[in-house]
Amino acid sequence: MTPKHSNSSLANQEIPWHGTDLEELYQKNLSRNRSQLEQYNWIDRPITYKFNSYGFRADEFDSTDPGVMFVGCSHTLGMGLPIESTWAYQVSTALKLKNYNLGVGGASNDTAFRLAYHWIDQLKPDVVIFLSTERTRLELHIDDDQLYDLSVWPLGFPIVDTFMQSWYSNDTNSNMNYLKNTLAIKQLCSDRNIKYVQQEALNITMIDRARDLQHYGEKTQRDIASMFLSKL
């Protein structure tokens, strides 16, 4: 099972913009939504996205160091936020454990399980925390070099589009897929006596916004960190 993901090509890179947190969007928001940027303190605040040798916004992986593994999407990666403002950084700091953040922008719960399945025995984390993603997302593997996290838009492949139209027509499909992935990650942890906690991102209230004005802001991230720490 491949450990590849959409940020694999960013391994060992340090960049100022990423994903939906684009400089072009920021410039547009300066003219169209400046009041929101001012409200959330994003005027002229630089952000650095630093990726480890596996393309994750995380500490360098070392199984000899006790760590906490985080799985999820861009809300876990911390899109539009300095690393210190992300809930994963805050939780790992409070626990005094390495930050093994496997969050990937746009990731599905399929992706979260696949990455957890690969890395959990490699990293041997003390704790696994899963901020589950949108239930409507679905991972599709065309071949080893073509991997898609699908949502409600078609790809342009007739067979795939026909399947997706049928899959999305009934919520049972996405709800069952969510349950299978969350229960699978929980079982991986149970089998290894690893502490596991999970929360669905859908149930978290966004009280402020990140620099892209699309993702959880700094106050919301602090609330998420506090919630998970209380569960531990």
d(CA 122, CA 78): 23
Alpha carbon distances (Å) from 130 to 50, 133, 136, 202, 208: 21, 9, 17, 13, 21
d(CA 67, CA 196): 13
Domain with 188 in it: what CATH number?
A: 3.40.50
Contact 127, 95 (CB under 8 A): yes
Is residue 42 included in any domain, yes or no? yes
Is residue 86 included in any domain, yes or no? yes
Alpha carbon distances (Å) from 56 to 140, 145, 151, 206: 21, 18, 22, 24
Is residue 5 included in any domain, yes or no? no
Is residue 52 included in any domain, yes or no? yes
Is residue 65 included in any domain, yes or no? yes
**Residue 3 has what pLDDT?**
84
pLDDT tens over the chain, length 232 residues? 778 888 999 999 999 999 999 999 999 999 999 999 999 999 999 999 999 999 999 999 999 999 999 999 999 999 999 999 999 999 999 999 999 999 999 999 999 999 999 999 999 999 999 999 999 888 877 766 666 666 655 556 666 677 777 888 889 999 999 999 999 999 999 999 999 999 998 889 999 999 999 999 999 999 999 999 999 9
Tokens of 136: 């409507």
Helix extents (H) in the chain? 23-32, 34-39, 74-77, 87-95, 109-123, 158-168, 171-191, 218-231
Is residue 8 included in any domain, yes or no? no
Is residue 106 included in any domain, yes or no? yes
Give the residue numbers spanning the domain of 183. 13-231
**Residue 139 has what pLDDT?**
84
Q: How many domains does the chain have?
A: 1
Is residue 29 included in any domain, yes or no? yes
**Torsion angle, alpha carbons of 189, 195, 198, 204, to 10:** -160
